[in-house]
Amino acid sequence: MGDHAQRSGFAGLENGRVIPEPLARTPFAQLDDVPQPMLALLIGALESMATNPEIQRVRRVAWDAMGPISGRRLLDAGCGTGEVARELAEAGADVVALDHSTATVAAAADRHDGSPVRYINGDVAALDFPDASFDGVRCERVLQHVDDPDRAIAELVRVTRPGGRVCVVDTDWESVAVDGLPADLIDAVRAYFTGRWQQHHLGMGRTLRRRLVRAGLRDVIAIPVVCYFTHPSQVGHVLPMFNPTVPPEADVVPPDVRDAWFNAIDHAGDRDEFLAVLTIWVARGCR
């Protein structure tokens, strides 16, 4: 059974339910290695998340935490499709937008609007910049995907000048709360998701303050931003387990309850009883 479970992506059974085998890496950590249809889906998800009102609310908190923008040299480490980097540039900053994925950097460059942004490939845990290269650094929803988040934070601190600010944003996946759906389905999907993604720093958001303090930053603040969604149409690109367009092979919903889960979501939406909540943390420290 062990060999079959390894090949199928399942670790075994518990109380008659499939136990998923943990993923080696998240899809967002290996964008350049996924098939083209999945890549297009993930790039589209990044863009959809950027327009979501709750994600925009998180970003406004992070923007305020960054402090003065105009006239500064800033690094957006893990820039995705580059929308925040371009907003920073529009506000008067000179911006380097960095991402580990060649495909994502290409997508960001394709969307360039002529503002002072330079798009480059790079590893957040091994930045190719001299010490004190930037007046400020931001890193949004990246640390949950890296093997050694403290090493990445040390790099963000290293390239920030004395007096500059480091702002990190990340998700606490274990904070997800749901109402309006059958409790057994909620429990099954929660157990499956946390089991499949357990090696990927699911509680990263709530650890950010501690990590910045240990990295030697001063005046550290940490702000929880509670994102809430009252209709299924609002949540799919932020919480993938609520998105029926995410293919089954993405393994965010247990296959044996997939149909029942999405039917229950639809019915909750029709009854106006749907609720999903997620906490994303914004943390900032000064070097």
- Rounded Cα gap, residues 155 and 102, in angstroms: 20
Supply the range of the domain harboring residue 144: 27-286
Mean pLDDT across the chain: 88
In a domain, 15, yes or no: no
> How many structural domains comprise the chain?
1
- Rounded Cα gap, residues 28 and 193, in angstroms: 16
In a domain, 241, yes or no: yes
pLDDT band at 34 (very low <50, low <70, confident <90, very high): low
Residue pair 212/166 in contact by the 8 Å Cβ criterion: yes
- Rounded Cα gap, residues 190 and 194, in angstroms: 6
The whole-number pLDDT of residue 14 equals 45
Q: Which of 84-88, 103-107, 120-124, 245-249 has the lowest mean pLDDT?
A: 245-249
In a domain, 226, yes or no: yes
The whole-number pLDDT of residue 246 equals 86
Question: What are the percentages of helix, strand and coil residues in the chain, rounded to 5?
Answer: 40, 25, 30
Indicate which CATH number applies to the domain containing 90: 3.40.50.150
Answer whether residue 1 shows pLDDT above 50: no
In a domain, 2, yes or no: no
Write the pLDDT tens digit of every residue in 146-199: 999 999 999 999 999 999 999 999 999 999 999 999 999 999 999 998 888 765
| Residue with the larger pLDDT of the pair 20 and 275 | 275
In a domain, 54, yes or no: yes
Residue pair 69/93 in contact by the 8 Å Cβ criterion: yes
Write the pLDDT tens digit of every residue in 100-156: 989 889 999 999 999 999 999 999 999 999 999 999 999 999 999 999 999 999 999
| Residue with the larger pLDDT of the pair 272 and 4 | 272
In a domain, 13, yes or no: no
In a domain, 14, yes or no: no
Answer whether residue 39 shows pLDDT above 70: no
- Rounded Cα gap, residues 74 and 77, in angstroms: 9
In a domain, 102, yes or no: yes
